[in-house]
Amino acid sequence: MSPTFSSPPPPPLATSDWVGEAVRLAGPETLVRRDEPLARHTTLRVGGPADLFIEPAAEEELGRLIAFCHGRGIAFFILGRGSNLLVRDGGFRGVVIRLSHPYFSRVELSGLRIVCGAGARLKAVAVEARRHALAGFEFLEGIPGSVGGALRMNAGAMGGATFDCVESVRVMDYDGVVADWPAARMEVGYRECGALRNRIALGARLAGSAGSRAAIGEKMASFSQKRWGSQPAAPSAGCAFKNPAQIPAGRLIEELGMKGARCGGASVSLEHGNFIVNDGTATARDVLDLIELIRGRAREARGIALELEVQIIGDPASRAVTPTPFEAGDPHE
């Protein structure tokens, strides 16, 4: 979801003018942090701090916070698992909200349906579906991130897309009002969901079909093998560009001879041309410079205007450009 302002936004407030009020809206189970480095919360492992980082514990609490920010003209951003996201080195001037509390991360089965919160991991949804022999969710195993992020961009992999299995979405507007909308109302397109440009996804009701646990497991294993056989293990934000009509972005970048191209600590993956990876020293500026280098080469050599799939947020003015060391393990989980 994009940073959001009331319309038209009032003059920016000094952080000290609003942060105390925002903190007082939090309940006893809510996590609240000042100046939290967002590199810790993105799969690319770059990005400066958020003025305020909050993990609400309930819908009502989230609604109060959203209405407060919207009414006061304070920018806010809903963060999922941090994939498909590039935070600039200056960080985010406003409130970053992550729906990772157990309330928002639930995955519950009801017959051939799954009801899940926006903070639920997509892999958790796929695994729970397999456990109950519910087919139609296997492709989710290969998509990093959360249900909310997948809804926001209609994320897809292995020939499937999120809204292929969505029946309804629970949404909140910027006044904190909650409603359940059918999928047909969500204005879904390629890698976008128009209804969530100015609303927040709280969760979804997904529909599957009865299947064989063994067959579902085999399909998920095949997708996992394909993913790790063609995508880098190094920290990245996933695919950097949407596929243009003429040619898949990864193939285009490979044909341009740009695999391995580097700006500082950021480079084009040798495994897949549409991934920009962090060697552990990259800044957001390195990644942005490499993005522009690739786009410029595509325009000059092929006349193709590459459109970003990764979302960019934050302040370019540097408040903290020292790279945050990333932990070992799968950067996309």
Reported as a single tens digit per residue, the pLDDT across 149-183 is 999 989 888 788 899 999 999 999 999 999 999 99
Instruction: Name the phi and psi angles at 204, rounded to 5.
Output: -155, 160
Q: How far apart are CA 117 and CA 120, in angstroms?
A: 6
Both 141 and 70 in one domain: the answer is: no
Residue 177 belongs to a domain: yes
What CATH number is given to the structural domain containing 297? Answer: 3.90.78.10
Q: What is the pLDDT of residue 83?
A: 87
What CATH number is given to the structural domain containing 205? Answer: 3.30.465.10
Q: What is the pLDDT of residue 329?
A: 35
Answer yes or no: are the C-beta atoms of 179 and 113 closer than 8 Å.
no
Domain of residue 275: give its range: 233-313
Q: Which residue has better confidence, 229 or 80?
A: 80
Both 159 and 246 in one domain: the answer is: no
Length of the chain: 333
Task: Say which residue the tokens 């410079």 belong to.
Answer: 289
Residue 132 belongs to a domain: yes
pTM: 0.83
Residue 327 belongs to a domain: no
Reported as a single tens digit per residue, the pLDDT across 3-26 is 443 333 444 445 667 998 899 888
Reported as a single tens digit per residue, the pLDDT across 225-273 is 777 667 888 999 989 999 999 999 999 999 999 999 999 999 999 999 9
Which 8-state DSSP code applies to residue 158? T
Q: What is the pLDDT of residue 26?
A: 87
Residue 224 belongs to a domain: no
Q: Which residue has better confidence, 144 or 266?
A: 266
Q: What is the pLDDT of residue 232?
A: 85
Both 124 and 188 in one domain: the answer is: yes
Residue 2 belongs to a domain: no
Which of 56, 84, 102 finishes a domain?
102
Reported as a single tens digit per residue, the pLDDT across 267-324 is 999 999 999 999 999 999 999 999 999 999 999 999 999 999 999 999 986 554 444 4
Reported as a single tens digit per residue, the pLDDT across 184-222 is 999 999 888 999 999 999 999 999 999 999 999 999 998
Q: How far apart are CA 46 and CA 36, in angstroms?
A: 13
Both 95 and 110 in one domain: the answer is: no
Choose the weakest-confidence range: 76-80, 102-106, 143-147. 143-147
Both 196 and 242 in one domain: the answer is: no
Q: What is the pLDDT of residue 324?
A: 41
Q: What kind and span of H or E run contains 55?
A: strand 49-55
Residue 330 belongs to a domain: no
Q: What is the pLDDT of residue 331?
A: 33
Residue 307 belongs to a domain: yes
Task: DSSP for 257-318, please give it.
Answer: T-TT-EETTEEE-SS-TTEEEE-SS--HHHHHHHHHHHHHHHHHHH---PPB-SEEES-SS-
Total of domains in the chain: 3
Reported as a single tens digit per residue, the pLDDT across 28-72 is 899 999 999 999 999 999 999 999 999 999 999 999 999 999 999
Q: Helix and strand tally (H, E) in the chain?
A: 7, 21
What CATH number is given to the structural domain containing 50? Answer: 3.30.43.10
Both 29 and 97 in one domain: the answer is: yes
Q: How far apart are CA 10 and CA 75, in angstroms?
A: 11
